[in-house]
A and B are shown apart, each in its own frame.
Chain A
Amino acid sequence: MSSQRRPELSEEEYLDIEEALASNARGRSFLRMRDQRARLVAVNEVRKLAREFKDGLQKAAADTGGDKRDEAHIRILREELREMSAYIHQTRREIAALRPADAGSNRIMAATGELDAIVSATERATSEILNGVERINDLALKLPKTGEVAPIADEIQAHVTEVLTACSFQDITGQRTTKVVNTLRYLEQRVNSMIEIWGVEGVTPAAAENADDRRPDAHLLNGPATDGGPSQADVDALFEQLGKATEKAPEKAPGGDKAEPHSNSQSQIDAMFNAAQ
């Protein structure tokens, strides 16, 4: 095939030739056949293109695993979404469990209160120790500075100094405890924020996993009262009162199942002991 390009016909030349052919029967037959062949070529071209497109689509589907693979992907996606939903639900339940049923049972608040109570108690105790040490020191200063007593006075003062410096622990523990209290308060704020964000209204709180004491008398073990609690006199009075109640109704132990939980004064407890002996 020649590489030379054939000269293009002008529109006028094309129409002249077509008119010349159409002027006789054989020429018209030629033109009809040409048109038919041209249509066939066009149809074949379209069919070929459609076939190629279909083949391309099938090849692409085969590369990705096809419909079955798509279904598997959707199934995994659904499963992942279900798991995410379950986790979110569990998280909401956990957060709901963090929220106290009432303000009085807020564990973080309670822990903060306990720590504050520790600081106050150690401060009081340290103050009393200091009172005693200062009195001892004053007495030591009154001792004669001569004779056999002098070295004893010096030794007392040396011990007083040791006790004084040892008492500085209260400052250190106080500062450390304050840090813990601040951390707890920060946690409380964050938890409250999470509760607000997640909207846990109506969500069933998750059950606590062994966070509680399982001893049978755990409900009685609350530790020292942070607000000072009943005085020794209160306990004595209640003990005495319970002792009288025991004498009157010996068949029923005091503080039985139906007894209201309350604190006993020492006198009340003493009376109970005396009655039992």
Chain B
Amino acid sequence: MRNIEKHVLVVDDYNTMRRILRNLLSQIGFSNVEEAEDGSTGLRKLRERPFGLVISDWNMAPMSGLEFLKEVRSDGALKDMPFIMITAESKTENVVAAKEAGVSNYIVKPFNADTLKKKIEAVLGEL
């Protein structure tokens, strides 16, 4: 397993989910993983230091994942940030809204490690 230098920001209001993602990312090779419990915290962290990938839940408060994504895309310094949405919201309208907001990829919960890795590779290139 190689060590991937990119910093990953995991944004989810469920601590359990953040831990699961951190572990799975670690198995894939990402050793630099940071966590945030909502969109506003995630946005603050993104502005504090450079990240190479954002993996975010949608259903969060006070700032939802979609609002977070829009904020990222409207920020000149962050607008090209690879952004993967991981959510239980799987309706067509959700996927369309996320795509229109500029999401890089979309993973539906529950997911498996293989799907996570494939989607990350689809965004960042082969790991």
Binding site for B on A (CB under 8 A): 123, 126-127, 130, 133-134, 137, 157, 160-162, 164-165, 167-172, 174-175
Contact = CB atoms under 8 A, between A and B. Distances in A.
Interface residues of B, number: 17
Interface in B13-28: 14-17, 19-20, 23-24, 27
B23 A134 contact: yes
B16 A172 contact: no
B91 to A, nearest CB: 14
B24 A161 contact: yes
Interface in B39-68: 59
Contacts of A172: 88, 109-110
A169 to B, nearest CB: 6
Given A161-B113, A165-B112, A171 B23 contact: no
Interface string B60-100: 00000000000000000000000000001000000000000
A171 B88 contact: yes
A167 B113 contact: no
Contacts of B17: 168, 170-171
A127 B27 CA distance: 19
A164 B24 contact: yes
Contacts, number: 55
B20 A168 contact: yes
A157 B27 contact: yes
Given A172-B88, A172-B109, A167 B16 contact: yes
Contacts of A134: 23
A60 B23 CA distance: 90
Given A126-B16, A130-B16, A174-B14, A169 B110 contact: yes
B20 A167 contact: yes
Contact of A164 (B12, B23, B88, B109): B23
Given A161-B27, A165-B20, A167-B16, 19 more contacts: A123-B15, A126-B16, A127-B19, A130-B16, A130-B19, A133-B23, A134-B23, A137-B23, A157-B27, A164-B24, A165-B24, A165-B112, A165-B113, A167-B20, A168-B16, A168-B20, A168-B110, A169-B110, A171-B16
A123 B24 contact: no
A253 B12 CA distance: 54
Nearest to B27: A161
A68 B12 CA distance: 76
Contacts of B113: 161-162, 164-165
B110 A175 contact: no
A150 to B, nearest CB: 13
